[in-house]
Structure formats: C-alpha cells, structure tokens
A and B are shown apart, each in its own frame.
With several copies, the nearest count.
Chain A
C-alpha cells in the first residue's frame, strides 16, 4: 500500500521533491494566509454561534489545507462544489466572509456570491453534490470549455449511493470531474474504519474504473499538486479522478455536536501535531524567511478583516417575509404572487 502523496512532514521538512509552485515563497505565503484566514473565520463563527448570533456551524479546524489546496489549483473556468466544511476553499474562490456569515447565520443571500458566480453553494445533504458535479462536468464538456467540476465531500459521504452513482458516470462518460474526499476520519461519531472496509477511500475509484489517489490532506502542497495533476488530465480529455485527502477533524462535528461523547482527548491530541498550518509555517520560517512579525501581522489583519465582516453581517437586516416566495420560480404562479403581496415587505 503506497504512502499518501506528501511533500512536507508534520514538522515541515521537505520529504519529497517539491513541485514548482511550491518553490515560490509568494505562492506558499498565499496558501498559508488563506488557511489562516479560514481558521480565523472558523474561530469567529464558533464564537458567534456560542453567543446566539450564528446558526449551527461546521468547523473546518485542521482541514484547511484541503479546501485551500484544491481551489488554489483551480481556475475561473472551473466550478467548485463544496460540502459544508470547505470554507477555506470557498474563500479562496472569492466568496466573501460576509456571505459565509450570512449563510451560516441563516440567510439565503449568503449563497448569492458576488464572486464565483458559477460555484455551488454549501451542500448539506451528504454526497448529493457529487451528481451535481457530474452534471456540471457534462455541461463543461458539452460546451467545449476547459473547465472541470471539482466537488468535495467527507469520508462518510463515500457510503452514499449518490457518490457512487456519480463516480460511476464520471468514469463511464469520461467527464471532467474531480471528486475530493475530505477524510477527516469521522462522520459525526462514526469512525472511518466503521464506515467502510475499503482499504483506502481512494480505492473506491476502482469501482468506477478511474484513477484514485490518496494524499496527505494536511499538506496543502500535496493537495494542490494532486488537484493540479487531476485537473490537467481532465482538461486533456482523460476524464475524472478521485482524490482522498487524509486529514483529521480536530473539533466537534458542528457546534451542535459534543465529540467528547465518542472520542477521547488521547486520540485527538497527536493529530494537533500534524495539522496543516504548523507545518507550512515551519517550512516558511525555515525556507522563506517568515518571521514572527509576519505571523503577527497576518493574524492581525485577518482578525480585523473577519471581525469587520462579522459586524457587517450582524448589521444586515433580514429580508422581508416575501423573499421566501419571490425566488421560488422565475415567474411566481398566481397563488404565490398573491402570497407575496400578503406577506409584504415587512
């Protein structure tokens, strides 16, 4: 069984020849900053939830390298279809912090991204984004673009028929789609090893006859590199890829969850040593002159930015009641038009 693809050890040492992009300090700094931004957003979101100012929230703590690594390889021609745990990826794609807060605060306008207009919003029904990704890939293929559909789901998502049916059609039709698994070892309280007996989740690609690869999901360089390769293959008409990113969910499943019910600290602690930010920071410090100042400045600006976004979000008044029917159809049928009137702008 091959090791998952990785370039940086948990301590940040280079363990394999770096891909070109990872030799560039600016690129690495950008990746690091993006992960830090996601983590800061995360902390703020949890704080807001704890004080009743945000809805149930799914933290990406410890898995920031996945969303950031994947999306940093993508272009505007591609389409991103996240699960509910890829805030870092959404942010990299251009979704704003305010939009994310709005979504998690329970406001549909959070899905009306100013940025990546073609990207899908957060997907709550587990694995149901994979069929969409197949459909998006079909459209991209049909319209002879170079675009690729890139969907992310969890380890639990791989047990669902949607995942499998979609993977299979991606194979059968050579669709330009990449399915990324954020294997954070847990689906709420169910361990990866209780979810499936498959040796790796990447192995599930065998069932669809497409390449599957396991990468170190805490190594943003590995995630990006694997995604870049898969994107290249897809753009070259070679079809889809399944990428399993091995990571760990350091926090609760969501703010509604209490992970201490089903796992010990003793299990969690070692994973803190392997999380994605430390290793890249170590690498930046050792190789690209990243200093304490840089770190502090980053945390400060990111913190400020997130705080400001939170304030903006909190100041956004809810939509009028009629919004709940105004967008159901392009042209509201008679009854809904009447209902909208009745609900009014209050």
Chain B
C-alpha cells in the first residue's frame, strides 16, 4: 500500500471503474488530454482512449443532461463539472430529470450517473471557484450527495458512487486534493455510500462536519482535548440521504453538538442536522446545538477569504461555549 493524495485517489478510482466496467464513460471539460484542471483524469485518456474519456464542449447543461440520457440507455457516465460554481446550470437536469427518472417511470428507466465537481474555498481561487452549495443539492429528493474527507474515503466512496444504481453528485473538497496523503490501496473496494463515520470517538461533545472542514474540526478537537474536552468527530460523508441515526447516536451519548460547514449559515445543511437533533434528541441535549459556518454572505475574493472561512479558533470558541453551557 502506498500513500496517495486525494486527487490521486480520485484518479485511481476513476481508472479502476473504467477498467472493471466497460459501460463507464467519463466526460467533462478539459478532462482528456489536459487531464482535468486538477489532474483528476490525468493519463486516463491515454489508457482508455478518447471514446471513453471525452472532452465536452463548454456546456454544463448538456453535461448533466447527456449523463441522464447515457445512464438511462445503459452507460455509467461519470461526468465532471469543472467547479461547483458552474454546476448551477446543471441543477435543472439534476432536479427535474436525474433525480426523478426512476420514480417517474416506476423503475423502467434508471439513472446510474455520477456528477463530480470540486467544491469549497480556501485556495485563493478566483470568484465563483469556491462554492459550497451542497445544501441546495441535498434538498433534491432522489439524488445522492456524497463528500469524501480523505484520500482513502475518496477512493472508496467514488467507487461506491459509480456502482450505485442511482444518480450521485460527488463533491470533492478541492482544498484537500493535495493537502494530505494517506495509504490507499487500489483494491476495488467501495465504502458504504449512505453512512456517516465516526472519525474519532469522544464523550463530551459531538463535532459534525464533512469534506475539507474536517481539517479545522480535527484541529479544534485537538485543542479541546488539551483542555480536557473529549470530542467525537462525525464525518457526515453522505449529505443526501443523511445518516441521521449515526448523528443522533453520537449526540445522545455526548449531549452536545457543534456542526461545522463552509457554506453560508442560512439554509445550509447544518440546519437539517440541528433540526433533526432538536426534534429527536432534545432530551439528550445539554446545550444548544451550535453551527460554525461560513459567514452568511457570498464567499469574498481571496483577500478576505480567510476571514470568511470557519477557523479552528471559531470552532474551539463555540465548542467551549457549548461546554460551558449549563
């Protein structure tokens, strides 16, 4: 087993999928000879040919819509939207078609497609390149929305997404693409797609997060541990459907919860988790459920970006307030 970055793990999973299933096909902007702007598909066109690894015209609506058609007709398209900021044009096809085809044909036609997109900020990218609009997608019944938090999870979850018989939006935390390496075996083994995972066990407080924000969340847990606070970290991982049981179980144990995400506060996915806890775990809660999120504004241009993103300090401070609550 060798160490790999997340971008390598994504590439490995894509390569594996192309190898194991002749129906898998990749398309998107600049994914061919260029290997994708983040190099997620680097080398794949050389290995699998330009029929299976295709550069599309610059057309996000047709990328999504063509994936629907191809999936219904027997392929397993894995399409890429270059940045989540350009995925909005694909929402119509996702919401009105991808998510509904099985249901509205009573399973006569299905839609086993994956739409990959890098999401999130923190890399000083130009405007519209740092979106975290996962909550919008998580509101669409019939979709799956998955976000990995590490190279190994990216590998296993992407394989699971590709093999899943239903449409999956697979959002890759671009800040993590090269930030961390870990052992990833190209084993062909998928991870369970609908499951949250406990990344670290703890007893005093539950920290729920996903994707890149787990970096700050873990750092906050470290700081808190030094203060004697034992945090349990739940990586939500599947944002749609949500593994409510896992989150509830943790909070029932700890009695306290802080949710961390990069997207703006209002109607972010943290709301759903807090609401679920308010409904189902009210009696276990020893303190208000708090959310540490991006400020309730548009992601600023790079110069103020850091001031927008939830920092380790903000998480720690909020967690301390939650711990002090009596």
Contacts and interface: CB of A to CB of B under 8 A. Distances in A.
A and B found bound together: yes
A189 B55 CA distance: 9
A142 B70 CA distance: 10
A131 B105 contact: no
A330 B142 CA distance: 10
A109 B67 CA distance: 24
Given A135-B77, A161-B59, A190 B29 contact: yes
Interface in A140-194: 140, 142-143, 149, 156-157, 159-162, 165-166, 168-169, 172-173, 187-190, 194
B65 interface: yes
Contact of B57 (A107, A108, A169, A323): A169
Interface string B53-75: 01111111110111111111111
Name, among A106, A121, A262, the residue most crowded by chain B CB atoms within 10 Å (CB to CB). Answer: A106
B87 to A, nearest CB: 11
A112 interface: yes
A40 B110 CA distance: 32
Name, among B71, B96, B109, B301, the residue most crowded by chain A CB atoms within 10 Å (CB to CB). Answer: B301
A2 interface: no
Contact of A330 (B102, B105, B108, B302): B102
A266 interface: no
B115 to A, nearest CB: 13
A338 to B, nearest CB: 10
B65 A328 contact: no
Interface in A118-150: 118, 120-121, 124-128, 130-140, 142-143, 149
Given A136-B72, A195-B58, A256-B37, A128 B97 contact: yes
A117 to B, nearest CB: 6
A188 B34 contact: yes
Contact of B66 (A105, A169, A196): A169
Contacts of B35: 261
Contacts of A256: 37
Interface string A240-279: 0000000000000000110001100000000000000000
Interface of A: 55-56, 79, 81, 84, 103, 105-109, 111-113, 117-118, 120-121, 124-128, 130-140, 142-143, 149, 156-157, 159-162, 165-166, 168-169, 172-173, 187-190, 194-196, 256-257, 261-262, 318-319, 321, 323-325, 327-330, 333-336, 339, 343
29 contacts: A55-B302, A106-B303, A108-B105, A124-B129, A131-B68, A132-B66, A132-B68, A133-B69, A135-B65, A139-B73, A142-B25, A160-B89, A161-B89, A162-B62, A162-B89, A165-B61, A172-B57, A188-B29, A257-B37, A262-B33, A321-B304, A323-B300, A323-B304, A324-B295, A328-B297, A334-B194, A335-B241, A335-B242, A339-B297
